[in-house]
Structure 1
Amino acid sequence: SQEGVYGKPAQEDFTADHERWKNIVSKSYLNGMGIDWSYVRNVMDMRAVYGGFAAALKDLKLWVMNVVPVDSADTLPIIYERGLFGIYHDWCESFSTYPRTYDLLHADHLFSPLKKRCSLVSVMAEVDRILRPQGTFIVRDDSETIGEIEKMVKSMKWNMTMTHSKGGEGLLSVQKSWWRPTEVETITSAIA
């Protein structure tokens, strides 16, 4: 039989992924992270693998855009087979969507491999562009990468709702704020 993304036989890999996300969503995301799911309509899984995260949200009134990064295994046909939406994308480039489209962005182990190819600052600028104010950004990655992202979201004045690290793995949940600079410098020569 074929080998799956996580190194197990394909069917076993798929089933394990489905069970993993069902447990994480029911035990952590739905109750333990302070997310008001009644305001969440548009969700993006930035590294969808088999679409397990989206499948775990199936009972909520929302839709999920599943993104398969171009440098990952080609699992988009599996996502389509599950009846889910999906697209290929290179996160070193802009994502083709309107600004502030998504209420929740989810990135599971996206950033640690991505930082070998491009700047995380430019990826975070894209996250800032497509996430609505008051939207939630959930990142699961290695602790070092979580620390880098934490510094960036703090510099953007986003609200940290949860950060946790255990055994080299980290989880970060933040809410994008409405923050704007309080003083605006006006350069009179630019106006004239």
Structure 2
Amino acid sequence: MECPYWLTSSQVGVYGRAAPEDFTADYEHWKRVVAQSYLNGIGISWSSVRNVMDMRAVYGGFAAALRDLNVWVMNVVSIDSPDTLPIIYERGLFGIYHNWCESFNTYPRSYDLLHADHIFSKTKKKCNLVAVIAEADRILRPEGKLIVRDDVETLGQVENMLRSMHWEIRMTYSKEKEGLLCAQKTMWRPKEMEIIKSAIA
């Protein structure tokens, strides 16, 4: 996939390299991850996946790596991240700005798969991680999947929260303080309502 013509070597990309090199490296990274891990290694039946959300899309490389699958991907660019949404649009992909400390307008769809690449560790510095996980639970359909890539401390916190909501932890892996988690939301719902004030403030 070609780099947008208006990204020049004089610009610095999100990951610190020259922008065109950054763009290409990001795409190659996600092509490799999808091919070597996501398609076969984490127990996801992709034939049952239609609506996907990349909660921290950056250049849209993850969505681009899924282009041969019959899926629709919403790319989310955090409002306090570098503005890469024009690049996502240039690739012909869907995208939106969002503040994960607030609720996400999901109308008219829920999602079959959420992809969270280091979004939880970044978000928990600004707002209540419990509220963000509750929001992920809300927008993911029952039996939908969540893929989380993050530091091991954050992964541990996320895993504990998901277990408290009776999610099924399908796979965890960690190496050198970074890790991967794949979980499936179940049909369980709480019997008593508890209002999380930070989620509606």
| Cα distance in structure 2, aligned partners of 1:27 and 1:100 | 29
Q: Secondary structure at the match of 1:5?
A: coil
| Cα distance in structure 1, aligned partners of 2:133 and 2:108 | 13
* Aligned residue runs from structure 1 range 49-88, under 5 A: 49-88=58-97
1:148 and 2:157 matched: yes
Instruction: Give the superposition deviation at 1:98.
Output: 3.6
2:3 aligns with none
Counting aligned pairs with the same residue, the percent is: 72
Deviations 1:36-87 (A, max 9, x none): 0001000000000000000000001110000000111100000000000000
1:134 and 2:143 matched: yes
Instruction: Tell me which amino acid in the other structure corresponds to 1:63.
Output: W
1:165 aligns with 174
Q: Secondary structure at the match of 2:133?
A: helix
Q: Is the 8 A contact 1:98 1:130 kept in 2?
A: no
Instruction: Give the superposition deviation at 1:180.
Output: 3.9
* Aligned residue runs from structure 1 range 23-38, under 5 A: 23-38=32-47
Instruction: Tell me which amino acid in the other structure corresponds to 2:12.
Output: E
1:43 aligns with 52
| Cα distance in structure 2, aligned partners of 1:99 and 1:10 | 35
Q: Secondary structure at the match of 2:92?
A: coil
Q: Is the 8 A contact 1:100 1:131 kept in 2?
A: no
Aligned residues: 183
| Cα distance in structure 1, aligned partners of 2:135 and 2:189 | 18
Bigger Rg, structure 1 or 2: 1
| Cα distance in structure 2, aligned partners of 1:99 and 1:162 | 30
* Aligned match for 2:24, one of 15, 25, 28: 15
Runs of 4+ in 1 over 4 A off after TM superposition: none
| Cα distance in structure 1, aligned partners of 2:176 and 2:97 | 31
| Cα distance in structure 2, aligned partners of 1:176 and 1:84 | 27
2:118 aligns with 109
Q: Is the 8 A contact 1:99 1:130 kept in 2?
A: no
| Cα distance in structure 2, aligned partners of 1:127 and 1:100 | 13
Instruction: Give the superposition deviation at 1:173.
Output: 0.4
Cα pair distance change 1:135/1:100, threshold 3 Å: farther
| Cα distance in structure 1, aligned partners of 2:181 and 2:13 | 27
Q: Is the 8 A contact 1:143 1:168 kept in 2?
A: yes
In structure 1, runs of 5+ residues without a counterpart are: 186-192
| Cα distance in structure 2, aligned partners of 1:99 and 1:174 | 24
